[in-house]
């Protein structure tokens, strides 16, 4: 087997295994860390598909931004409440039956479909094309979006800070 095939199987197992652990975890902090490994596995699969921009965006936005926001939100707002927080899994039997049927259907389609084999061309990279497109054809919307995000960040900072007026 080739190295890319082995890496694909490894990252697929990592993604699926951590997703299963995340769903069945009874501790919310453990579930958040399992979500991190799931998102990193998906980013690694994007790298194997030569979608480097999407992989970098996946890591920066989801792992670096949203997941850290979830962890800070859980840890800062509950004040020790997460130590005893346990989730209750209900309706496990009907869901197991439905998911077994869905998995069997997906495996049947996977095995009975004839997949066309295409030659893989040498990848050029997605960042060069995206950068050229953004900085030539869509420069005005790109700049307007940047200014709008800057104004939103300044507004959020002003709303979040409490200014005491001295008299």
DSSP calls for 49-61: TT-HHHHHHIIII
Q: How far apart are CA 42 and CA 54, in angstroms?
A: 10
Q: What is the pLDDT of residue 28?
A: 82
In 3D, which of 51, 43, 42, 50 has the Cα closest to residue 16? 42
Question: What are the structure tokens assigned to 105, written together?
Answer: 């259907």
pLDDT by residue, tens only, the chain of 167 residues: 899 899 999 999 999 999 999 998 888 888 888 999 999 999 999 999 888 888 888 898 888 888 878 777 777 666 555 556 566 667 778 888 998 999 999 899 888 988 777 666 555 667 777 778 778 888 888 888 888 988 888 887 777 776 665 65
Q: What is the pLDDT of residue 122?
A: 59
Q: What is the pLDDT of residue 30?
A: 87
Q: What is the pLDDT of residue 146?
A: 86
Q: How far apart are CA 131 and CA 118, in angstroms?
A: 27
Q: What is the pLDDT of residue 63?
A: 85
SS3 assignment, position 89:
coil
Q: How far apart are CA 114 and CA 108, in angstroms?
A: 12
Q: What is the pLDDT of residue 53?
A: 85
Q: Please, what are the domains in the chain?
A: 3-89+124-138 (1.20.120.1200)
Q: What is the pLDDT of residue 85?
A: 56
Q: Is the pTM of this model over 0.85?
A: no
Q: What is the pLDDT of residue 123?
A: 59
């Amino acid at each position: 087997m080739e190295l890319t095939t082995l890496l694909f199987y490894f990252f697929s197992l990592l993604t699926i295994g951590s997703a299963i652990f995340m769903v069945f975890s009874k501790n919310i902090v453990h579930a958040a860390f399992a979500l991190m490994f799931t998102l990193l596995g998906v980013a690694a699969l994007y790298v194997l598909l030569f979608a480097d921009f999407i992989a970098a965006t996946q890591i920066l936005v989801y792992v670096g931004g949203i997941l850290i926001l979830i962890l800070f939100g859980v840890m800062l707002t509950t004040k020790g409440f997460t130590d005893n927080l346990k989730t209750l899994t209900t309706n496990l039997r009907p869901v197991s039956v439905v998911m077994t049927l869905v998995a069997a259907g997906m495996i049947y389609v996977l095995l009975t479909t004839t997949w066309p084999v295409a030659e893989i061309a040498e990848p050029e990279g997605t960042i060069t094309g995206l950068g050229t497109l953004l900085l030539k054809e869509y420069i005005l919307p790109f700049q307007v979006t940047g200014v709008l995000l800057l104004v939103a960040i300044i507004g959020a900072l002003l709303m979040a800070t409490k200014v005491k007026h001295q008299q």
